Amino acid sequence: MSGNRIGIKSAKGTSTSGYVTKSKVNKNLNKQHRYLHDSDMEYSDEEQNKNKRQIDINELVKNKKIKLNNEKNPNVLINKYFNNFIDYIEDNNIKFNDHKDDILHLYKQKLLDYYKSEKTNTELPRAHDLLNYERQVKLLSNKFNIDKGNTLQY
């Protein structure tokens, strides 16, 4: 088939993606499009294998080693828990007035102290006190006498 047919999907690999519409821009080029039906693609091995990316095993092993090394690095773990704490604060819409930076700094200092004192490079267990973000917010806000905004103010 040749010419532009409106409302029919064009085949993979043509210069247009999705539906073809009439355009005055390239009318003088008079491109011909190939239109495919689902039945044309059922037995096409060429189409299935063409888009697959070649897997480089050495690259996969290298990426795996980097990932394993990063999991043992305490700085990576500290940043991960710190970002989770920030997400908890934002998700629960907790207001600290002007003390937000101080509270975040204190929490990060707690994480740093834990990893220095324990001399461990493993992830914290889920039930650990530092990962109980609700409790940490209460403890840290009590240091600054902050009312979080979730309770009634008198």
| pLDDT > 90 fraction of the chain, expressed in percent and rounded | 0
Assessment of whether the complete model's pTM goes beyond 0.85: no
Task: Supply the mean pLDDT for the chain.
Answer: 69
For 105-151, write each residue's pLDDT tens digit.
Answer: 898 998 888 888 877 777 777 788 888 888 888 888 887 766 545 44
Q: What's the pLDDT score for residue 151?
A: 47
Identify the residue with better confidence: 153 or 69.
69
For 50-68, write each residue's pLDDT tens digit.
Answer: 555 666 777 766 666 655 5
CA distance from start to end of the chain: 77
For 12-53, write each residue's pLDDT tens digit.
Answer: 555 555 555 555 555 555 555 555 555 555 555 555 555 556
Indicate the burial class of 146 (C-beta count within 10 angstroms; 0-12, 13-18, 19 or more): buried
Please answer whether residues 47 and 12 qualify as being in contact, where contact means their C-beta atoms are separated by less than 8 angstroms.
Answer: yes
DSSP one-letter string for 20-41: ----STTTTT--------HHHH
From residue 127, alpha-carbon distances to 90, 123, 124 in Å are 22, 12, 8
